Structure 1
Amino acid sequence: MLAFRLGFLDVGWLDLIDIALVALLIYQIYNLVRGSVASRVFIGYLLVYLAYLLVKALGLNLLTTILEYFISVGALALIIIFQQEIRRFLLLIGKSTNVANSRWLRRWLLRQSGMPEPTTPLRPILDACKTLSTEFSGGLLVIRKNDDMQKFAQSGEVIDAEVSKPLLLAIFSQYSPLHDGAVIISDGRILAARCILPVSDDDELPPALGFRHRAAVGMSEATDAAVIAVSEESGRLALALNGELFTNLTIGELEDRLGRYLREPGLPKPELQ
């Protein structure tokens, strides 16, 4: 194996690849905790570990032993400190590697069964959001893409009705017992209303955002669903996709982002009528 000498170290190509992968891992972890208190803890622990590697290479046995004990105990402390960040990281991996939710697998199975790929009509959803925004009624709508929504639908009241503007407006009316919580829409049908969604704990979200918007981001972090939040105070429209929140959208911008996100390569555009 090709190698070259760097000071007192023999470095090979596998060592360079190993270093590059570790650097990439550290960068991704830093991006995950950036902006939170945990980021300062992470940097401090990283500096201690670099000091441990240095004193070990220099042969300072006593200091190496002390730092080894500190690092072994610190690893358990890091799991406790970073439990929320670890959860977000595992959710991200699970979303990207879930074979059951693969769009290509779903398309292949549908093609084998001869069934058309179901689509959700966007026009009644957009019309309802426009009215809710105008009337400052507030609303939270989850539109399924690939991930299963049954667990979240079971947290609310099952409806299982065709999606329509009058029904959505009736659900989010201030006099309706179903207006609290979220509506879950899948394949052109309203599965359930008054559903409970996971709330994001992202410290980078603006403090002014309310519970409805944090629930929208939390749902988009946990699943690949598109989540629309209509502010009850300002009537502004927001869309959460893959943990990112787009705020102050016009109805045209909402339609464009939502349609592009739900549209899969090679499939027809989601119905707007």
Structure 2
Amino acid sequence: MQISFLEIKWTDVLDIILVAFLLYYIYKLVRGSVASRVFMGYLLIYLFYLIVKAIGLELLTKILEYFMGVGAIALIVLFQQEIRRFLLLVGKSTSLANNKFFSKLLGTQPEQDNQGPIKIVSEAAKTMSSEFTGGIIVLQKDDDLSKFAESGDIVDAILSKKLLISIFSQYSLLNDGAVIVNKGRIKAAHCILPIASGDELPSNYGFRHRAALGISEATDAVAICISEENGKISLAIDGNIKIVSAVELERELRRYFLNEAV
């Protein structure tokens, strides 16, 4: 296609569409966080660099080229959490990762033993919700949560509904912080979680919700948050948090851990 003195090929159009798609998803990942401001600042500097280069200001162009080179390394450091989330989302969305044969080959086949823990956690969350008992329950998937478990008190006990409820009781010394569950065992309690830095959360979401969202952003774990003010259950997965009922909670956990259709 010829437009005035420009010759545009179909590959150029495809290139523009793919770059726009990539920039959109990068912005979507960093939106509402401090990283979004850094990203926009870097993008503006890059546009300024292109203008300076087009004008022919050689000295300023060289300075900006060195800055862009160092800035690329700085961006990797600053955006390591967002890059990890992006790669995690890409890996989860591909049919290759969800294929049963390759899941067995890669060792990511979901364990059917998760059915028991999912039921126990769902029932515990339902009881805590009805009693207005606040708490955060983190279910480990593939990512290692050892550093978060070590921030609390190691329990390493068989998972049970009564034990979960007793941990979050107002008379318990372990009720402040999160409980980490893995492979049918309560690994640790009173754990400190990373706090979400985004400012898009509703005002009625408190510290527990930000901690639940933070761990879901940093890892592939699932966080269940029960509010002590209104008893509502919130589920955080892949950097997103929403209010769910007890029935929806169990269904979402089965979908995420067992690949069951919702």
- Is this contact kept in 1: 2:149–2:188, CA < 8 A? yes
Deviation at 1:212, TM superposition (A): 0.9
> For 1:159 and 1:56, how far apart are their aligned partners in 2?
60
Aligned positions of 1:61-80 closer than 5 A: 61-62=56-57, 65-66=59-60, 69=63, 73=67
TM-score, length of structure 2 as denominator length: 0.77
> For 1:111 and 1:233, how far apart are their aligned partners in 2?
38
Which residue identity is paired with 2:84? L
2:248 matched to which residue of 1? 253
Structure 2 residue ranges without an equivalent (≥5) = none
Which residue identity is paired with 2:28? N
Does 1:95 find its partner at 2:88? Answer: yes
> For 1:73 and 1:216, how far apart are their aligned partners in 2?
37
> For 1:40 and 1:94, how far apart are their aligned partners in 2?
21
Deviation at 1:69, TM superposition (A): 3.8
> For 1:94 and 1:125, how far apart are their aligned partners in 2?
29
Q: 1:177 to 1:61 in 2, by over 3 A?
A: same
1:151 matched to which residue of 2? 147
> For 2:6 and 2:34, how far apart are their aligned partners in 1?
36
Deviation at 1:12, TM superposition (A): 4.9
Aligned positions of 1:158-237 closer than 5 A: 158-237=154-233
Q: 1:155 to 1:38 in 2, by over 3 A?
A: closer
SS at match of 2:137: strand
- Is this contact kept in 2: 1:38–1:81, CA < 8 A? no
SS at match of 1:184: strand
* Count of aligned pairs between the two proteins: 255
Deviation at 1:66, TM superposition (A): 3.9
- Is this contact kept in 2: 1:120–1:188, CA < 8 A? no
Deviation at 1:161, TM superposition (A): 1.7
TM-score, length of structure 1 as denominator length: 0.74
Pick the aligned partner of 1:132 from 128, 148, 152.
128
Deviation at 1:26, TM superposition (A): 2.1
> For 1:177 and 1:18, how far apart are their aligned partners in 2?
57
Which deviates further from its counterpart, 209-218 or 154-163?
154-163
Structure 1 residue ranges without an equivalent (≥5) = none
Does 1:23 find its partner at 2:20? Answer: yes
After superposition, the C-alpha distances for 1:101-146 in whole angstroms (9 at most, x for unaligned) are: x67566347799xxx7532422322222122122222111011222
SS at match of 2:203: coil
Pick the aligned partner of 1:242 from 238, 242, 252.
238
After superposition, the C-alpha distances for 1:149-199 in whole angstroms (9 at most, x for unaligned) are: 333222222222221111111111111111111111112111111112111
SS at match of 2:225: strand
- Is this contact kept in 2: 1:52–1:68, CA < 8 A? no
- Is this contact kept in 2: 1:144–1:226, CA < 8 A? yes
> For 2:163 and 2:112, how far apart are their aligned partners in 1?
24
> For 1:24 and 1:256, how far apart are their aligned partners in 2?
32
Which residue identity is paired with 1:128? A
- Is this contact kept in 2: 1:36–1:203, CA < 8 A? yes
> For 1:83 and 1:168, how far apart are their aligned partners in 2?
37
> For 1:156 and 1:41, how far apart are their aligned partners in 2?
33
Bigger radius of gyration: 1
Deviation at 1:253, TM superposition (A): 2.1
> For 2:63 and 2:19, how far apart are their aligned partners in 1?
22
The RMSD of aligned alpha carbons is: 3.7
- Is this contact kept in 1: 2:52–2:60, CA < 8 A? no
Q: 1:29 to 1:93 in 2, by over 3 A?
A: closer
